[in-house]
Amino acid sequence: MAHTPENAEFKAINIAILTVSDTRTEETDSSGKLLVERLTQHGHALAEKVILMDDRYQLRAQVSQWIADDEIQAVIITGGTGMTGRDITPEAMMPLFDKNIDGFGEIFRYLSLDDIGTSTVQSRAVAGVANGTLIFCIPGSSGACKLAWDGILQQQLDSRTTPCNFINLIPRLKER
């Protein structure tokens, strides 16, 4: 089981948040707000927060800008991971990935089984690495964002988590 040694040093990173929705605004974006609160409370910095409609090319353009920025180490995308025709976040992001992080979606669905039962099979949460930047795509509900952060991301985005975490891998993610 992962744990945090008492004397380990915390390393803050810059995280961008992207909410994918045709209807949410800054005032109604509870999922994006939750993620911003969680990441800043944990000691990380918000690099930028954007809301975009479900358009694969706008999503790719925004995330491509972030992954080209050496000051941004992670991107968390909320929304667009469902089963409808408008839900295209995985399809928009996966072509950008240099590597998939398959375990992220697997663990997300495992954890959400307790909350939503077998409906978890409809979740298309995915993650990957693009140009050394970590990208996490999670469902758009506040409950899903809370589950992803509290159950996976908080520990994996903490340099003190042992036996391993994403933060300590960042310097090596661009190796060829």
User: pLDDT digit string (tens) for 6-64?
Assistant: 678 899 999 999 999 999 999 999 999 999 999 999 999 999 999 999 999 999 999 99
Tally the residues of the chain: 176
Q: Give the other-Cβ count within 10 Å of 69's Cβ.
A: 15
Q: Average pLDDT, whole number, for the chain?
A: 93
In order of 23, 36, 171, the CA distances from 46 in angstroms are 23, 7, 20
Q: What domains, with CATH codes, occur in the chain?
A: 14-170 (3.40.980.10)
* pLDDT of 124 over the 90 cut: yes
Of 116, 59, 68, which Cα lies nearest the Cα of 88?
A: 59
Phi, psi angle pair for 170, to nearest 5°: -50, -45
Is-contact 167 159, C-beta < 8 A?
Answer: yes
Q: Give the other-Cβ count within 10 Å of 150's Cβ.
A: 12
Q: What CA–CA distance (Å, rounded) separates 77 from 58?
A: 13
